[in-house]
């Protein structure tokens, strides 16, 4: 697979995502994974009756599960129930896609719910491992063609001698997938999300 320099008119819809068995056989030079990951992720098929083109809202739901993990979510079934309640509330504010300005909608939603989530735009994919090492998830906006985009949540990174592979919640599968930036799709935007530490009084 060649590195994608420009968005084509038509993509194949896979975005270059892969599974763990397709990772390089050699051990990564460095590995970063977020703590407190949910046992399964929210996916678009959970909400097909109430939404469409809703990967942005699903990404926001997964971000909420990572940043504010529910204390009573001990099983995948319980987590899906909590995810559904979160999605319904989030989707009412974010809406259906395509969505470009996700950062404004997410921060506004959480500000109104009393959770002080902050967002920072990143310029380079190379900055993502450092963000993850601080325990901060990231969201990627990907394009596999001029008019087809997709939001995913970055939960880890594996750095090899020839580049970095990102571990993602792709909004389609409950288990992680892997993505080599700009192979199979182009990175159009990178957002870091975090909750500021409370200042001691």
**Residue 193 · residue 65 · CB < 8 Å:** no
Sheet strands (E) in 8-137 = 30-33, 118-122
Assigned token pair, 165: 């592979």
Percent of the chain with pLDDT over 90: 53
The answer, yes or no, to whether residue 8 has pLDDT greater than 60, is yes
The residues pairing with 186 across neighbouring beta strands, listed in sequence order, are 143
The residues pairing with 166 across neighbouring beta strands, listed in sequence order, are 157, 179
User: Which CATH number does 20-194 carry?
Assistant: 3.90.70.10
Q: Exposed/middle/buried for 41, CB within 10 Å: 0-12, 13-18, 19+?
A: buried
Encode burial over 94-124: b for 16+ CB neighbours within 10 A, e otherwise.
beebebeebbebbbebbeeeeeebebeebee
Give one DSSP letter per residue of 82-119, joined into a string: HHHHHHHHHHHHH-SS--S-HHHHHHHHHHHHT---EE
Assigned token pair, 84: 């559904």
Identify the weakest region by mean pLDDT among 2-6, 114-118, 127-131, 140-144. Answer: 114-118
**Residue 118 · residue 67 · CB < 8 Å:** no
Q: pTM for this structure?
A: 0.89
Q: pLDDT for 63-106, tens place per residue? A: 888 886 655 555 556 556 667 778 888 898 888 988 888 998 98
């Amino acid at each position: 697979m060649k590195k994608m320099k420009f968005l084509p008119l038509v993509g194949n819809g896979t975005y270059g995502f892969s599974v763990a068995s397709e990772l390089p056989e050699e051990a990564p030079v460095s590995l970063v994974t977020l703590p407190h990951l949910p046992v399964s992720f929210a996916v678009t098929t959970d909400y097909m009756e109430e939404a469409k083109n809703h990967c942005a809202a699903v990404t926001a739901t997964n971000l909420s599960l990572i940043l504010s993990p529910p204390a009573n979510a001990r099983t995948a079934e319980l987590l899906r129930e909590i995810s559904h309640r979160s999605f319904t509330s989030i989707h009412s504010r974010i809406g259906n896609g395509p969505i470009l300005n996700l950062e404004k909608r997410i921060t506004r939603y959480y500000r109104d719910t009393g959770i002080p989530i902050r967002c920072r735009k990143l310029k380079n994919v190379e900055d993502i491992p450092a963000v993850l090492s601080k325990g901060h998830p990231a969201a990627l906006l990907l394009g596999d063609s001029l008019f087809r985009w997709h939001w995913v949540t970055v939960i880890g990174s594996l750095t090899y001698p020839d580049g970095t592979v990102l571990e993602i919640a792709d909004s389609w599968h409950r288990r992680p997938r892997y993505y080599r930036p700009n192979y199979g799709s182009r990175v159009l935007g990178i957002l870091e999300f975090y909750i500021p530490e409370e200042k001691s009084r």
